[in-house]
Amino acid sequence: MAQRLNHIQQSPELFKKYQEFSNLLNNSAVEISTRHLVSIRASQINGCGFCLDMHVKEAKIQGERELRLHHVAIWRESSLFSPRERAALTWTEILTKLPEHGVSDEVYEQVLTQFSKQELSDLTYAVMAINGWNRLNIAFQTTPGSADKAYGLDKANLS
């Protein structure tokens, strides 16, 4: 397997600006618990081990129940998610796996019943952000858990 480059070292200004963009989501109109579910689900769909590992640990540190973390992959069958969370997961999936003909009015209207216009816009940026991070970390094969100490994720007590 070829050694992948370090995208942070190669493009430090782009990394810094993308991180700043992502950090702006901390002031989002969408609650952090829902944003964690969004990041976890997009990372599952995209197969990004680094991001999935990171966001599961962040969610646990911030009080998310472990069973809900296990159920994100099966959220449609699980009774553990609210209608608002289900709408966020629906939006995440459709924007992560864009259909050939885009997002239908039906899906848009269904999601809009759970989110204000501001929240839906912020949610869309959150989905954009995690999909971009997924693509970076998949492209350069970032090792899951490799940034735990730097981000304080070792406090999740997951091994």
Q: Is the pLDDT of residue 76 over 90?
A: yes
Residue 7 inside a domain? The answer is no
Counting the structural domains of the chain, the total is: 1
| 130: nearest Cα among 156, 93, 158, 102 | 93
Question: Which segments of 1-159 are extended strands (E)?
Answer: none
Per-residue b or e along 114-147, where b marks 16 or more CB atoms closer than 10 Å to that residue's CB: bbeeebbebbbebbbbbbebbebbbeeebebbee
| 64: nearest Cα among 33, 92, 89 | 33
Residue 67 inside a domain? The answer is yes
81-127 pLDDT, tens digit each: 999 999 999 999 999 999 999 999 999 999 999 999 999 999 999 99
CATH number of 43's domain: 1.20.1290.10
Range of the domain at 136: 30-148
Residue 42 inside a domain? The answer is yes
Mean pLDDT over 127-136 rounds to 98
Residue 40 inside a domain? The answer is yes
